[in-house]
Structures are given as C-alpha cells and as structure tokens.
Amino acid sequence: MVDQEEQSNQVKHEEQQYEEIQLKYVSEMHKTDLEESFLYYQKYMNLYTYLRVTMLGMGVLVLLYNIFIAGNSYPISTYDNIMTGVISVCGLVVFVLVVISVLAFRQQGKIRKILKEFAEQRNFDYKELKNEYNIVIKSLYGGTGI
C-alpha cells in the first residue's frame, strides 16, 4: 500500500513538472516564416557567441598587460612603443565589438520584423507572439531570446 502511494505521488510530481504549454500564436505561423526566423536566430546566436569570446579576449589581454608590462620601468622610447601597441590593440578590439554588435542587432531586427508583420497580418498581440516565440526559440536553440 505504501509503494502504491509513493508511485502515485511520483506520477503526480512528474505531471506537475511537465505542464503542457499551448502556443496559440506561433502555431499559426507559416513554416517558411518560422524557418527563416530560425535561421536569423542561429546567426544571431553565433554573433552573440563571437561577442562574448571577444570580450573574454579583451579581459585576457588586460590581465596579460597587468602581469607582464605594468609596474616595470622602461626607457621612454620603449614605453611609447608599448603604449602605441596597447592602444592599437584596444582600438581594434573595440572596433570588432562594435561591428559584431551591429551585425547581431540587425539579425535581431530581422526576426522582430517577421514577427511584427505576422502579428499585423493576423491581428495578434505582438508582445504575446514575441513571448511565445521566445519560449519556442529558447527551448530549441537556447540563448537569450529576442
């Protein structure tokens, strides 16, 4: 009798854990629109990964600078060369970060445009459609959503 109660409690717990979500807006989207937006989201997530890697690289460069260069004394000509190199590398990293960010925002904008057009065509609430889309996209690809 105790075993049956434990099994029924376990089944109830599993049922509570996996509640089914009804997607009334996303389920009505055309397959081509969904596939196109999924491709844009994959590109967006790839760019987002490059952005994080670039920021991590910047942190590593700052750490290496502090360990090997900062705190040492150099002749003025050597110091000028070091600072020119450091400023050049920092400028290049900032430029790369800006370019990647702009590209990522463009991909995100394309996804939002697809969702807005679909919401306007069907007279759906854009925010609810976007929330449902985020649920789907996060479960399929992970990431932050749009």
Give residue-wise pLDDT tens across range 104-117: 999 999 999 988 99
Examine the pLDDT at 103 and tell me if it is beyond 90.
yes
The H-assigned helical ranges of 20-125 are 31-68, 76-122
Rounded to 5 degrees, φ, ψ at 21 are -105, 130
Asked, for residue 80, whether it belongs to a domain, the answer is yes
Number of domains in the chain: 1
Asked, for residue 65, whether it belongs to a domain, the answer is yes
Asked, for residue 85, whether it belongs to a domain, the answer is yes
Question: What contacts 48, CB < 8 A, 6 or more positions away?
Answer: 104, 143, 144
Domain hosting residue 133, numbered range: 33-141
First and final C-alpha spacing in the chain: 50
Asked, for residue 113, whether it belongs to a domain, the answer is yes
Average pLDDT over residues 97-124: 91
Asked, for residue 97, whether it belongs to a domain, the answer is yes
Average pLDDT over residues 49-65: 91
d(CA 136, CA 35): 12
Lowest average pLDDT, out of 25-39, 46-60, 91-105, 121-135, goes to 25-39
Rounded to 5°, angle at Cα 109 from 31 and 111: 15
Asked, for residue 12, whether it belongs to a domain, the answer is no
Max CA distance (Å), the chain? 86
Asked, for residue 24, whether it belongs to a domain, the answer is no
